[in-house]
Amino acid sequence: MSKNHIRPLASLAEGQTAQVASLLSGGTMRRRLQDIGFIEGTQVECVQKSPAGDPVAYRVRGALIALRSEDSARVLVV
Amino acid sequence: MGLTHESVGRGAAGSSLTIHKQHETDRIIALAGNPNVGKSTVFNALTGMNQHTGNWPGKTVSNAQGYCEADGRGYVMVDIPGCYSLMAHSAEEEVARNFICYGEPDGVIVVCDATCLERNLNLVLQTLEITSQVVVCVNLMDEARRKGVHLNTRLLSQRLGVPVVCTEARGKKGLKKLMQAMEKRLQEPSPSQPVQVQYITPLEEAISLLESSLNKVDLHSLPSRWLALRLLDQDEALLVGLEEYLDCDLLSLPGVRDALSQAEELLNRHGLTGETRLDAIVSSLVRQAEAICDGVVFQFPSSAEERDRKIDRILTSKGTGFPIMILLLAVVFWLTITGANYPSQLLAKGLFFLQGKISQGLLFLGAPPWLEGLLADGVYRTLAWVVSVMLPPMAIFFPLFTLLEDLGYLPRVAFNLDKYFKKCSACGKQALTMCMGFGCNAAGIVGCRIIDSPRERLIAILTNSFVPCNGRFPTLIAILTMFFVGAGTALFQSAACAILLTGIILLGIVMTFLSSKLLSSTILKGVPSSFTLELPPYRRPQIGKTIVRSIFDRTLFVLGRAVSVAAPAGLVIWLMANVSVNGQSLLTVCSGFLDPFAQLLGMDGVILLAFILGFPANEIVVPILLMAYMSAGSLVEYESLDALRTILVQNGWDWVTAVCVMLFSLFHWPCSTTCLTIYKETKSWKWTLISILLPTLTGMAACAIFANIARLF
């Protein structure tokens, strides 16, 4: 897979970093994600998976935010 | 575990707030900020109050006010809920925005987290769009230093156009400066213009179209630019709020509707419709925050970040996450049980010695024997039981739990358990409210406001009492120690007791999951909604302060409540035991009436009666039970738990009874305070009734099944 391939945030392995390309979720969740800094070009790092593998904690703009797999599948990154 | 008078007391559910000024010249200052930036710590440090703090986001669920004085002037400080934005997407954002817009604060202090300033500036910029009377408080400077973050606050202040003050609220540093800066800002005849967020060209054009029509009318000092933006992002909540608080129908003002349709048309031409338009607005805010931070924030390499990751790898990884969670629970219980045993005996000895003196004193003063019995054997004895059995475990459990909370462990519990809550179509934050329930179910239920989805919030409310609150822990501990931890060394005994108690708690947690699943597949059908959970950095707890604070704020508060309920309950029990109808005491009549049903549940009539009389406070169930048994027959002086065991065994208890009592203690109706809180939070008798029936029926079923199977052998 090339480095510039668009893929869901959920596909990142622990320790991998990518940039936000676009958000597929709508409504309140879209707003919340934007408020905490998920906008185009923002760097996101996949930091830590929970014991059950879901949710996963991501570092975004200095904060650690956990997202469920359904939600991280709706964030596209490059 | 937000257990203070504020969180369960009067007004906990009300979102309205009446400001109490002490002098005409007092100023009203709102404290805003992202969740978990130490806003409540700043509030407490300024006002000397004890608004609950803890290292997890979302503790402040409604506005709280406090008073402080600085340089001879009084200030009413209002702690508004933490939020990421003022666009009112969630309940707390709406409460926060409503106060800034309609609460008429003289000034706003926006508290920011120095370790992640850029994200916090989003809220600062949004606040500056509403008012220029703002001071930015950059808190957690100590933590930032440890993480290698350095800030050029002078440049930050220049770029924002408002004063910026650095604080370390936990160490009370910088607070005086903060208040001085606020006062100076308020007194300035022509304060500097704050930075204005620049939006993309079509948006700016649309804004000026609307502004020119809005400028012609009275807007109650709300800035026209901000109102124009809210009209453009189709903010229904704002229009409703304007009508409700200011009696102002924005769209009916002359020219506004026309200007809006022109602006709409302009934006639509540029493809800025619906979601795209909102995206453009939010992106501009985030990018402006990014630009402001460029050259202000410097990140130097540090080991603190690496340390946090190492801790997280241990506390939340696949192999060790769950075992450590269970181990921590067991250790907390073990410390509580071991630590509580000796002081409990000492207290009992002292208090029962006093009872003899009180009796003698009363008789000496010429009190009739019935009065002596009523006061000494009824009221005082019940109080003594409550204090000696309940106080020591509480005084140990509360501080231990608070330490875990301050450390930042609770959000990790939510992180670990979320997958299972998702499977039950519930919210991961329910793990947080469940943890709060360990302290007090009423506080846990108020805390459910952190859950945005109404359906998931209801599930969390209805299932909260499946975890035992602090009033029920001592009951469980006492029975476990008496019946299941027999011979062996003291260490073995307490360890075995802690393990069994952990098992019981896990049973409660499993039932929370099962009943959540049941609810979400029957009367509360729905799919799990989206949510974000912030994992804050670990913070070193302030051990001394935590202990003092949790004893004074929580332990004494809970104990006070138990005592105030126990005194009348003791009176009732004594009267029931001593008033006879047809040669039988009322107690015998009542317990006899309940007995057949109670036997079905593996208990007896007295036990069930004790649970019923314990409705006002679970803490008094065991004391009432003992009172009832003892009033009927021999009076045994309290020497140790063994003496209590003898009383219980004499009254027909065996291990099956003990298990059933523990099961029923875990699953039965919530206490009266909790029921009232559920009603306040849901505004529905139907849901309150369901929240009573759900655990009660569960408990009855569990007891009946267990007792009948166990009796077969």
Residue-level pLDDT at B355: 85
**Domain ends where: B162, B187, B212?**
B187
Q: Which residue has the tokens 């540093």?
A: B173
**Close Cβ partners of B408 (under 8 Å, ≥ 6 residues apart):** B55, B56, B535, B536, B537, B538, B539
Residues of B in Cβ contact (< 8 Å) with A10: none
- pLDDT average, residue stretch B35-44: 88
B315 within some domain: no
Q: Does the pLDDT at position B12 exceed 80?
A: no
pLDDT band at B487 (very low <50, low <70, confident <90, very high): low
Residue contact A37–B312, C-beta within 8 A: no
Cross-chain CB nearest to A67 (options B85, B416, B532): B532
Does B59 score more than 70 pLDDT? Answer: no
Q: Are B408 and B56 in contact (CB under 8 A)?
A: yes
Q: Which of B185-199, B445-459, B552-566 has the lowest mean pLDDT?
A: B552-566
pLDDT at B10: 30
B14 pLDDT higher than 50: no
Confidence of residue B635 (pLDDT cuts 50, 70, 90): very low
Structural domain A7-77, CATH architecture: Roll (2.30)
List residues in chain A touching B: CB distance below 8 A: 25-26, 28-37, 39-40, 42, 47-55, 57, 61-68, 70-71
Taking CA atoms, B540 is separated from B320, B378, B387, B552, in Å, by 22, 46, 32, 21
Q: Which two tokens stand for residue B116?
A: 């992640």
pLDDT at position A62: 85
What's the pLDDT score for residue B486?
Answer: 64
Mean pLDDT is lowest, of B50-64, B174-188, B503-517, B632-646, for B632-646
Chain A residues within an 8 Å CB radius of B90: 28, 32
Where does a domain end: B231, B247, B271? Answer: B271
Top pLDDT among B336 and B515 is at B515
Mind telling me how many Å the CA of B284 is from chain A's nearest CA?
A: 10
Q: Say which of A25, A35, A51 has its CB closest to residue B317.
A: A51
Q: Are residues B224 and B251 part of one domain? A: yes
Indicate the DSSP class of residue B171. G
In this structure, the answer to whether residues B491 and B561 fall within a common structural domain is yes
> Would you list the domain boundaries of chain A?
7-77
Q: Which pLDDT band holds residue B3 (cuts at 50, 70, 90)? A: very low
Residues B427 and B488 in one domain: yes
Q: What is the pLDDT of residue B56?
A: 65
Reading phi first (left if > 0) and then psi (alpha if -120 to 50, else beta), residue B220 is in left
Residues B545/B45, Cβ–Cβ less than 8 Å: no
Cβ atoms B708, B39 nearer than 8 A: no
DSSP 3-state assignment of B82? Answer: coil
Please, which contacts does B72-75 make with residues 24 or more away whose CB atoms are closer than 8 Å? B73/B25, B73/B26, B73/B27, B73/B183, B74/B21, B74/B22, B74/B23, B74/B25, B74/B26, B74/B27, B75/B26, B75/B27, B75/B28, B75/B29, B75/B46, B75/B179
Q: Is residue B678 part of a domain?
A: yes
Tally the domains of chain B: 3
The verdict on a CB contact (< 8 Å) between A35 and B87 is yes
User: In this structure, is residue B278 part of a structural domain?
Assistant: no
Bridge-based pairing state of the strands A56-60 and A63-67 = antiparallel
Yes or no, beta carbons of A55 and B533 under 8 Å apart: yes
Strands A75-77 and A7-8, how do they pair? Answer: antiparallel
Domain that holds residue B151: 5-187
Provide, as residue numbers in chain B, all residues whose Cβ is less than 8 Å from the Cβ of A29.
530-531
Instruction: Give the residue from B622, B470, B478 showing the smallest Cα distance to B557.
Output: B470
Q: Place B58 in a pLDDT band, splitting at 50, 70 and 90.
A: low
Please give the Cα distance from B368 to B377 (Å, whole number).
13
| Average pLDDT of the residues in B272-294 | 92
Instruction: Tell me what the mean pLDDT of segment B368-394 comes to.
Output: 83
Domain identity same for B621 and B705:
yes
Q: Is position B534 within any domain?
A: no
Residues B614, B696, single domain; the answer is yes
pLDDT at B13 over 80: no
Residue B212 has pLDDT above 80, yes or no: yes
Is residue B197 within 8 Å of residue B204, measured between CB atoms? no
Return the higher-pLDDT residue of B446 and B467: B467
Q: Give the residue with greater pLDDT, A24 vs B488.
A: A24
Tell me if A49 and B318 make a contact (CB, 8 A cut-off).
yes
Work out the pLDDT band at B348, boundaries 50, 70, 90: confident
Residues B355 and B497 in one domain: yes
Query: How does pLDDT run across B228-282, given as a tens digit for each residue?
Result: 999 998 888 888 888 888 888 888 888 888 999 999 999 999 999 888 899 999 9
Are residues A39 and B283, on separate chains, in Cβ contact within 8 Å? yes
**For residue B341, pLDDT beyond 60:** yes
Instruction: Report the alpha-carbon distance of residue B373 to residue B367 in Å, rounded.
Output: 10
Confidence of residue B46 (pLDDT cuts 50, 70, 90): very high
Residue B668 domain-assigned (yes or no): yes
Choosing among B236, B532, B535, which should be mutated to test the A contact, i.e. which has the most A CBs within 10 A?
B532
pLDDT of B437 above 60: yes
- The per-residue pLDDT for B640 is 64
Residue B449 has pLDDT above 60, yes or no: yes
Residues of B with CB under 8 A from a CB of A: 84-85, 87, 89-90, 115-119, 122, 275, 278-279, 282-283, 286-287, 309, 312-313, 316-318, 321-322, 415-416, 418-420, 422, 428, 452, 528, 530-537
Give the up-direction half-sphere exposure of residue B430: CA atoms within 13 A in the CB hemisphere.
35
Confidence class for position A3, pLDDT limits 50, 70, 90: low
- The domain boundary, picked from B187, B220, B248, lies at B187
Residue B710 neighbours by CB under 8 Å, 6+ apart? B602, B656, B659
pLDDT, average across residues B517-538: 89
Place of tokens 């939600």: A71
Residue B306 lies in a domain: no
Q: For residue B7, what pLDDT band results from cuts at 50, 70 and 90?
A: very low
Mean of the pLDDT values across residues B570-590?
86
**Is B661 part of a structural domain of the chain?**
yes
> Is residue B436 located within the same domain as residue B497?
yes
**ipTM of the prediction:** 0.94
Helix, strand, coil distribution of chain B in percent, nearest 5: 65, 5, 25
What percent of chain B is modeled with pLDDT above 70?
A: 94
Q: In the structure encoding, which two tokens stand for residue B625, read together?
A: 């039970």
Domain identity same for B655 and B686: yes
Give the mean model confidence (pLDDT) for residues B39-59: 78
**Beta-carbon separation of B418 and A54 below 8 A:** yes
> Judging by beta carbons within 10 Å of its beta carbon (0-12, 13-18, 19+), is residue B449 exposed, middle or buried?
buried
| Statement to judge: residues B213 and B331 lie in one domain | no
